[in-house]
Chains A and B, each alone.
Chain A
Amino acid sequence: MLHYTLRRLIYLVPTLIGITIVTFLIVNLAPGDPVELINRGQMDARISPQSYQHMLHLYGLDDPVHIRYLTWLKRLATLNFGDSFLDHRPVIDKIMERLPNTVFLNVTSLGIAFLLAVPLGLYAALRQHSKFDKVGGTALYVLYSLPEFWVALLLIMLFGVELRWLPFHGMQSLDAHKLGFFGYWWDRFLHAILPTVCLTYGSLAYLSRFARGSSLEVIRQDYIRTARAKGLDEASIVYRHVFRNTMIPMVTLLGLFLPTLISGSVIVESIFAWPGVGDLFFTSVRARDYPVIMGLSFMTAVMVLFSTLFTDLLYAWADPRVTYR
């Protein structure tokens, strides 16, 4: 097991390098460059070719792309993501300023989705073909296919404008810090409701269908029949046998969801002015702010690789039948 883990860790390095090369190439070969875009905003002036070249040099963009990649890699080796082209702040500062906001939103939403999805799926599976299963299933499919931006606007119109129950801009009200401890956190809580709902309903639909499918499979197993045959009460069967075995694939799935915790939702974050990394990523892509794009992509790549590894290990732990060598 230790051997296996080490081997996997070593494999991570070439994989990561591969990912960064591809990302770097795609990002850098996309049309448009930061100098051009910074100066083609609304206030732009057209610039003389000489000063344009000069600016490219200033940003280190006049080197060929492979040299730029090596420079980037060299800097990364010292854990330095470089500075943003836009405001010249260190990329790591820009990311760390926003990462907690994204993680908070995603952990909450994923937590809620999981907590609701498992019982929903299990219940539907136990009563397969019942009215609950059919209606619930359809409703969840509908929910799953609703676009986030549309739902977000409907929620805003209903709860924000018509009923005036919930705020829908930012993480807190203006001057929230003057509200006192309780008032401040209550305000933060209210601001988090709509974005959380928007982020949750889709994964809830998906996860609960998944949980249902996985429970159905378990229910059909011989050991469940055996448990019933030996007269075990239904609660024990459901909890000790069905639920536990259902959780195995769910755990795997949870692992795969981990990277999404740090990669914010572009749509939800920008609609609700939630200052997270999704919003940052979107802004950076539009401005071709290469260092920030690369910083965020690298972080996500690392997270994806580690969480697949983690999932595999978790799987072995959750299911004693699985061992790695």
Chain B
Amino acid sequence: MPRVARHVFVMAWAAALLSGCGKGDRARDQAAADSLEVETAQPVPGGSVIRRLESECKTLNWVLYSTAYENFVIRYLYDPVYDYNVEGDMIPVLAASLPEVSDDHLRVTVRLRDDIHWQDGTPITAHDLKFSLDKIQDPGIPALNKEAFFEKLARLEVVDDHTVVFVWKEPFAPCLFAISQLWPIPKHVYGQGDFLTHPANRKPVGSGPFKFDEWRSGQYISLVRNDNYHGQKAYLDRIIFKIVEDDAVALNMIKIGELDEMRATQVQWEKQMVDPDFVARFNKYAYYFPQYNYVAWNCRTPWFSDRRVRRAMTMLFDRESINAKIYSGYARLVSGPFYINSWAYDKTVKPWPFDPEGAKALLEEAGWTDSDGDGIRDKDGRKFEFELMIAHGSNTAAQFSQLMQEECGKAGIRVNIRQIEGSTFFDRIEKMDFNAATLGWRLDLDPDVYDTFHSGMTPPNGLNYGTYSNARVDSLLEAGRVEFDQARRETIYHEVHRLIHEDQPYTFINTVPDKRPIAKRIHGVKIAWNGPYDYWPGASYWWIDASSPETASGP
């Protein structure tokens, strides 16, 4: 699967998802306690929840959507064939059973339930699933983010109305994850008319526990309970998504009960969501998305071709104090390229310590000494002076690069920080025209990092911008994507983790949690490894305690 990881600005993340550990963990413990209490109470139907959208949606068509906000809404409207539950295990939703993989791993059979139907009553069949895939792969339809999952798919065979077989070109372990990323859309609705401008894009017919009610551009989207749902009926009467772009306005709205949840910025979380009134009305949850931040070293440059130098760079980088200074202790350090909550992440691998003396020793060992006494190390007549590229507007990256610059300066390395506008920044990364750069990856649930670390995956083939190369890692990554047994894959990826940790093609920095207050009047909130929404059934079975007032206070 080509796009295992997705890059984002380090700062986009800093702005989008701030803070984390310490207090965050306490908040999560609190949340755990609350959800335990919830489970004993009896859910009651009725009430409505108001959620925040940080940006207007462009579509509610599953094939065409591309933002997290659209996903928030779509999750209530459509049912997936497979999804991951709160524990992170794959479960069938529209399927009758888990996918069946043939012995040669090339054919994956999916059986749909025969009692499922669209919100207009039409049965959901294998043809809808096929239709959905056809639309994703249609060159005239912009669905690149989904298309990428199916690059290794040879074809989809419809066996009967409820059975399809995914036929793969080669054995490919992440194929099960890919299948979970294919959601059916109604063929009888979208089959007629122009797909891109179809009226149902703004007035969808879904399959989920909630159905579309109203969309006022720029203001709100409203969903109501689907009383003809083929699964367990939801409790809430209605879910309203208010479009609130400004963080400060959102804070004011949540305070007067015009929102039940929002993403908090770090300042809001620490300073504006701590008063007794707020704490009495909201549970505060912090959780880690599959994401991490790093500094990429270009291994083709004279400085970073040696792993001792790369490791020295990591050891010169005081990630703990960055965490304290920039993230108020909320971020969590990472030591490898996998999602910290996944089985692939080897928790026994600890991040390299901050150790300037050790770093200097490594640099000496690698031949970088200050031979001319000008305070800057050199080797073969070349000075250790490089450019660290950061995306413009990335305040956190700007802050921690300065810390890095300072430490490196003390160790005889000159770092020139260069802020570059976003598109140009990525352009240079993709052309491998950089010395070092601060970046972030957003990860998929499958740990396949072939595209980012395999030596054959340098651009334009893949995403190995730093031209990292290690024959053992290459063969492990090749093995990892054809091995279907999770225990064996775990062994493989743990070794990848250790080797990459030793080689430090990146200086792994941290992962920063997403933070959300959710109104206490809402029950049934369960926080999965990746938060309250992005799993099955996510937020679909929230319910309101009738004894709480509809809005906590206010008019």
A residues neighboring B (CB under 8 Å)? 31-33, 35-36, 38-49, 51-52, 54-55, 58, 83, 86-89, 97-98, 153, 156-157, 160-161, 164, 168-172, 174, 270-276, 279-280, 283
Contacts and interface: CB of A to CB of B under 8 A. Distances in A.
B246 interface: yes
Interface in B366-424: 421-424
B139 interface: yes
B249 A170 contact: no
Contacts of A156: 249, 252
28 contacts: A36-B423, A38-B142, A42-B442, A43-B66, A43-B70, A44-B442, A45-B3, A45-B145, A45-B146, A46-B3, A46-B7, A47-B148, A51-B147, A54-B139, A55-B142, A87-B201, A89-B197, A153-B249, A160-B252, A161-B252, A168-B249, A168-B252, A168-B253, A171-B219, A174-B222, A273-B219, A273-B244, A273-B249
Contacts of A47: 3, 144-145, 148
B68 interface: yes
B71 interface: yes
A279 B218 contact: yes
Give the one of A31, A49, A83, A272 with max B CB within 10 A: A31
Contacts of A58: 139-140, 142
Interface in B209-250: 216-220, 222, 240, 242-246, 248-249
B2 A46 contact: yes
B422 A32 contact: yes
Contacts of B151: 48
Given A46-B463, A273-B242, A157 B554 contact: no
B219 A39 contact: no
Contact of B256 (A43, A160, A273, A279): A160
B2 A48 contact: yes
Nearest to A31: B423
Given A38-B66, A47-B144, A275 B139 contact: no
B460 interface: yes
B59 interface: yes
Contact of B243 (A40, A51, A54, A273): A273
Contacts of B56: 283
B202 to A, nearest CB: 8
Contacts of B328: none
B442 A270 contact: no
A43 B144 contact: no
A13 B343 CA distance: 66
Contacts of B426: 36, 40
Nearest to B148: A45
B255 interface: yes
A197 to B, nearest CB: 15
Contacts of B140: 58
A280 B144 CA distance: 25
Interface in B191-208: 196-197, 201-202
A31 B421 CA distance: 8
Contacts of B147: 51
* Size band of the interface chain B makes with A: 35 or more
B249 A174 contact: no
B55 interface: yes
Contacts, number: 138
B249 A41 contact: no
B6 interface: yes
A174 B220 contact: yes
Closest 9 CB pairs of A and B: A275-B218, A31-B423, A32-B423, A45-B3, A45-B145, A88-B196, A42-B68, A87-B58, A170-B219
A231 B356 CA distance: 91
B260 interface: no
B555 to A, nearest CB: 5
Interface string B42-77: 000000000000011011000001111011000000
A49 B460 contact: yes
Contacts of B423: 31-33, 36
Contacts of A172: 219
B16 interface: yes
B67 A43 contact: yes
A87 B68 contact: no
Given A46-B6, A157-B252, 20 more contacts: A38-B142, A39-B66, A40-B426, A41-B67, A42-B442, A43-B70, A44-B6, A44-B145, A46-B3, A48-B148, A48-B151, A55-B142, A87-B59, A164-B554, A168-B249, A172-B219, A271-B246, A271-B249, A272-B249, A273-B242
A44 B5 CA distance: 9
Give the one of B145, B421, B555 with max A CB within 10 A: B145
Contacts of A88: 196-197
B258 interface: yes
Contacts of A270: 245-246
B253 A169 contact: yes
A89 B203 CA distance: 14
Nearest to B421: A31
B64 to A, nearest CB: 8
Given A168-B252, A275-B219, A45 B144 contact: yes
Contacts of A276: 218
A232 to B, nearest CB: 54
A161 B253 CA distance: 8
B17 to A, nearest CB: 10
Interface in B308-343: none
A33 B423 CA distance: 8
Interface in B232-285: 240, 242-246, 248-249, 252-253, 255-256, 258
Contacts of A283: 55-56
A39 B7 CA distance: 11
Contacts of A274: 218
Contacts of B424: 31
B369 to A, nearest CB: 40
A68 to B, nearest CB: 18
Nearest to B181: A45
Interface string B442-460: 1000000001000000001
B534 to A, nearest CB: 11
Interface string B145-161: 11111010000000000
Contacts of B240: 174
A89 B463 CA distance: 34
A39 B144 contact: yes
A273 B70 CA distance: 18
B152 to A, nearest CB: 12
A160 B244 CA distance: 15
Nearest to B144: A47
Give the one of A40, A46, A161 with max B CB within 10 A: A46
